[in-house]
Amino acid sequence: MSSWRNLLLRIGDKSSEYSSSSDFKDHIETCFGALRRELGHSSAEILSFLLQCAEQLPHKIPLYGTLIGLLNLEDEDFVKQIVENTQNSFQDALDSGNCDGIRILMRFLTALMCSKVLQPTSLVVVFETLLSSAAITVDEEKGNPSWQARADFYVICILSCLPWGGAELAEQVPEEIERVLVGIQAYLSIRRHTSDSGLSFFEEDESGGDVEKDFLEDLWERIQVLSSNGWKVESVPRPHLSFEAQLVAGKSHEFGPISCPEQPELPSTISAVAYGKQKHDAELKYPQRMRRLNIFPASKTEDLQPIDRFVVEESLLDVLLFFNGCRKECAAFMVGLPVPFRYEYLMAETIFSQLLLLPQPPFKPIYYTLVIMDLCKALPGAFPAVVAGAVRALFDKIADLDMECRTRLILWFSHHLSNFQFIWPWEEWAYVLDLPKWAPQRVFVQEVLEREVRLSYWDKIKQSIENAPALEELLPPKGGPNFKYSGADDQEKTEQEQALSAELSNKVKGRQSAREIILWIEENVYPIHGQEITLSVVIQTLLDIGSKSFTHLITVLERYGQVMAKLCSDQDKQVMLISEVGSYWKNNAQMTAIAIDRMMGYRLISNLAIVRWVFSPENIEQFHISDRPWEVLRNAVSKTYNRITDLRKEISSLKKSVVSAEEAASKAKADLEAAESKLTLVEGEPVLGENPTKLKHLKSVAEKTKEETVSMHDSLEAKEALLARALDENEVLFLSLYKNFSNVLMERLPDASRDGTLQSLKSVNGDSMAVDIEEPSTMEVDDENERPKKSQSNGGKTTNGYNVREKEQWCLSTLGYVKAFSRQYASEIWPHIEKLDAEVFTEDAHPLFRKAVYSGLRRLSNEL
């Protein structure tokens, strides 16, 4: 990479390019000198790379803005081109709904304004254009309020620019910026308050009403405090001030006009369902970037000004966004933000807020695992203790943590410990053994240990808890497969059944084909022993043959899947098959999930059969004490969803191919017609058409392209038919899933909770609850080692133990999973909502069940 590229890329970093200096002014002067020398013969490359750096290293935007300001003194035309390119990129981002592009380019425009490159009035025009669009969107008469998510996003973008340029705007165009702020105040008065219902990390106190400020209201309050403090922000570097005397001589450029896209039209039939569908689409396209997870007590971040917290959060999120895939660079930039205060606690809260973000994190959870691991190594004296404190604080409130967040936390924590030799002071949590088996803290410890065993081996994990040996009780069983026909228990199985199993095993070892084994079963086994014994012997034996490894299992399914398919041709028998898998692998939840998932992949069992098995009595009893049935259900629904997603991608690709094929066919036809109509001289006489050889070739090309177009159309129709069938199957799946949820909840939810609040369910005992489910965390942390002080109540563990009864905990857990499934697959559920409303979400359904579903779907409360 050429030196000027290195200088641009590493500006602001402690690096060899800048002799390890950390002075921003030196960096800018050095980089400016290099660019000025190259500008004459590499201007196009510099322009492109500079804009790329500004867009992908947004935490350095103030530096790039100042640099462009200095270049403006040397070459106004070059900088004018930068402004024009930025305007084009910004318009493209608006048109496509590229949220990150809009937000970052607006900050870039603000930095250009600070460096006298852009006229402040041009920036105000951008603000007012976005604000006008937002106001129209939420207008009940002229707009489409279901798209408030986009309107809010535009206003958030405006407010987000002010920490970077509010002081300059207030100084140079005070009346104009005041007009913008008044406009934002007016917008806030007409928009709807946004509820976090369904997306909050912890269950809200639903009886207390929705009084918390939403993200936009909170940001507006922070900006008001900033304004009253004279726009002073410690966390935003202001390198342009060091060059103010020079920059003022530069020409300020105008920014071309921009336009916001029209909001989608209101549906022809106004209804709560139509409104809900559009609102869901809007929130998908313009998601809220973050939700604050307040893990630590305020004393850990109380020195921060309100706006500094926002700026640091923005910078951390930008680094996470643009260094996804470069974990070490990501960690290095996260710990090196140019701020004059420590922010380890805020950094931990920000990362955990992304890891647990609902409905889904921006990146795969493994990314955050790696970043946390690298941060612990980068800051060994500080960050590991902060992470440990975060784990303890979340553990204290685990009873109130959203079920999906709980699952993510378990998966992250077990993986995190596997990277640090499984070291954890388990003795702190040994008290969970005194809690009932359904207590959330006990279940959490149990599930973490189970996941650790998957990542290592049983004896290693037992050794890791030697400081709390009693916790061995929560480890999964050490035993391997539970083969019914091993001969270990002759009392249970007859010698005849064991002989059948041995004979089948010999046939498989003798490499008999699936067809030969099917004939043997039909002639010698089924007529004598009947369906149940035949199915049990065959499935158990084949599973035992495939039990040595994942590869053995796949081989058995590929070679003898036909045998299973023949035996289990209908849903009832498929449920029996899954039960045999569960019985064989009862000591290994991981292999149970893998075997069932692979069988679904080979279409030996249907998703409906899996749903039926999950809601069988033996599994229902585990809903609140184990993740085992939920893992199988998640895999089944996820695989169904992935099939539909893949079909949609294939159809989208085929549509593009059809267009290309049609264009090619049209061109070939036009070339042929032109050639046929062309007059040529043959032996001095004019003849219609080109020479025969060329005509023959053109005819061949025209026929071939036509055939390709027909073939593409046929493929597209076939895929669309598959998608239509898959969507129909999806509707049946969700109907089955929600009917089962509704039925089991109706049987168990007490009448005392029919007023529709979780609080009434939690207090159904009628006495004061020892568990502190609704209280905010008041965790106090020792400065030395981040361990909870003895006064901590451990999230509901009192001398009386965990006082939520088992039946109520079962209901709380199951309702939590109802909400989690509804939220995760909302995009697939909304198209079928009318049928679900008619058949499942009726007035007869329990109010708490409907509330959980509606909360997951983010449906308005007045639709209840």
Q: How far apart are CA 592 and CA 610, in angstroms?
A: 12
The tokens describing 854, both together, are: 């509606």
Q: Find, among 566, 410, 540, the residue nearest to 486 by Cα.
A: 540
Query: At 34, which amino acid appears?
Result: A
Q: How far apart are CA 280 and CA 298, in angstroms?
A: 34
- What contacts 652, CB < 8 A, 6 or more positions away? none
Place of tokens 């679904």: 600
Burial class from Cβ neighbours inside 10 Å (0-12, 13-18, 19+) for residue 790 reads: exposed
Q: Find, among 544, 535, 555, the residue nearest to 482 by Cα.
A: 544
In the 8-state DSSP scheme, what is residue 679? Answer: E
The tokens describing 419, both together, are: 């990277």
**Which portions of the chain are predicted below pLDDT 50?**
205-210, 490-491, 766-800, 862-864
pLDDT at 488: 64
Distances (CA, A) of 717 to 454, 554, 654, 656, 707: 44, 33, 10, 14, 15
118 phi, psi to nearest 5 deg: -115, 140
pLDDT at 764: 53
pLDDT at 837: 94
The tokens describing 476, both together, are: 């999964």
**Enclosing H/E stretch for 139:** none
Assigned fold of 4-258+269-285:
1.25.40
Q: How far apart are CA 179 and CA 125, in angstroms?
A: 11
The b/e string for 16-31 (b: 16+ C-beta within 10 A; e otherwise) is: ebbeeeeebeebbebb
Grouping H, G, I as helix, E, B as strand and the rest as coil, residue 681 is strand
Contact 223, 158 (CB under 8 A): no
Contact 666, 706 (CB under 8 A): no
pLDDT at 685: 60
pLDDT at 798: 41
Q: How far apart are CA 358 and CA 291, in angstroms?
A: 9
pLDDT at 14: 79
In the 8-state DSSP scheme, what is residue 475? Answer: S
Q: Can you say whether residue 531 is alpha, beta or left, with left for phi > 0 and alpha for psi between -120 and 50 degrees?
A: alpha
Same fold, 299-468 and 493-605: yes
Neighbours of 1 (CB within 10 A): 8
CATH number of 299-468: 1.25.40.180
Q: Find, among 344, 361, 348, the residue nearest to 290 by Cα.
A: 361
Contact 193, 214 (CB under 8 A): yes
Neighbours of 268 (CB within 10 A): 6
pLDDT at 480: 85
Domain ranges for the chain, please list them: 4-258+269-285, 299-468, 493-605
Contacts from 232-236 at CB under 8 Å and sequence distance 24+?
232/167, 233/163, 233/305, 233/307, 233/308, 233/311, 234/305, 234/308, 234/339, 234/340, 234/341, 235/163, 235/307, 235/308, 235/311, 235/312, 235/315, 235/337, 235/339, 235/341, 236/62, 236/163, 236/164, 236/311
pLDDT at 530: 87
CATH number of 493-605: 1.25.40.180
pLDDT at 302: 62
351 phi, psi to nearest 5 deg: -65, -45
Per DSSP, what are the bridge partners of residue 794? none
Contact 270, 331 (CB under 8 A): no
The tokens describing 864, both together, are: 């209840």
Q: pTM of the entire structure?
A: 0.89
Q: How far apart are CA 62 and CA 407, in angstroms?
A: 40
- What contacts 488, CB < 8 A, 6 or more positions away? none
